Amino acid sequence: MPGERGVLGTFGDPGAAARAVRALRAAGLRVDAAMPAPFPELVEALGKHRSRLGLVTFPGAVTGLCLGVLLTVGTSLAWRLVTGGKPIVSVPPFVIVIFELTVLVGSLTNLVAVVVGGARGAKRQAAVAAAEAVGDRIAVFAAGDPAAAARLLREGGAEEVRDVP
């Protein structure tokens, strides 16, 4: 939450960070983290629920499918031109087009979803986002009781601890 008071510690090693995170959470503090790569142990330590991106992507794919059906069947019926003695609505060829559109629209919604979701994440986790932990450092932010947080972070082997803001 923006403007929320808390303590930020940086780590060089994912394992250490993970341990610190566990300790902080054990102390009942809310913890956010930022990292250059999705280190499994750290993600696990944070123990947050899985992303619900699928709720956006799947409907997107379905939209693509409907679009495909509308486009192929609709345009064929709008002006019935017979080719090669095939039926006006010739399903097998249309399926191919419909499939491609499903994939296309699905992936594009997926893209939009991840960009928007990411932006919202960065906003909600402004404190830790500010640390720009994209290079060789892992940032861990603990909200609530600053003193306890700072102690736990130091014990956890944080290379640097500071209060934010």
Nearest approach in angstroms of CB 126 to other proteins is 9
Q: Which is nearer to other proteins, 29 or 57 (CB)?
A: 57
Nearer Cβ to other proteins (3/38): 38
Looking at the Cβ atoms of 106 and 152, the one nearer to other proteins is 106
CA–CA separation, 109 vs 105, rounded Å?
6
Structure tokens at 30: 């809310």
Between CA 56 and CA 63, with CA 59 as vertex, the angle to 5 degrees is 130
CB of 62 to other proteins, least distance (A): 13
Toward other proteins, which CB reaches closer, 53 or 155? 53
Query: Are 108 and 101 a contacting pair, CB within 8 Å?
Result: no
Q: How far apart are CA 18 and CA 10, in angstroms?
A: 12
Least separation in angstroms between CB 95 and other proteins: 10
3-class state of residue 95 by DSSP: helix
Decide if 36 contacts 135 (C-beta within 8 A).
yes
Among 17, 2, 15, which residue's Cα sits nearest to residue 160?
17
CB of 87 to other proteins, least distance (A): 6
What is the SS3 assignment for 107? helix
Q: CB of residue 28 vs other proteins: minimum separation in angstroms?
A: 18
Indicate the residue among 3 and 83 with the shorter CB distance to other proteins. 83
Structure tokens at 59: 């409907």
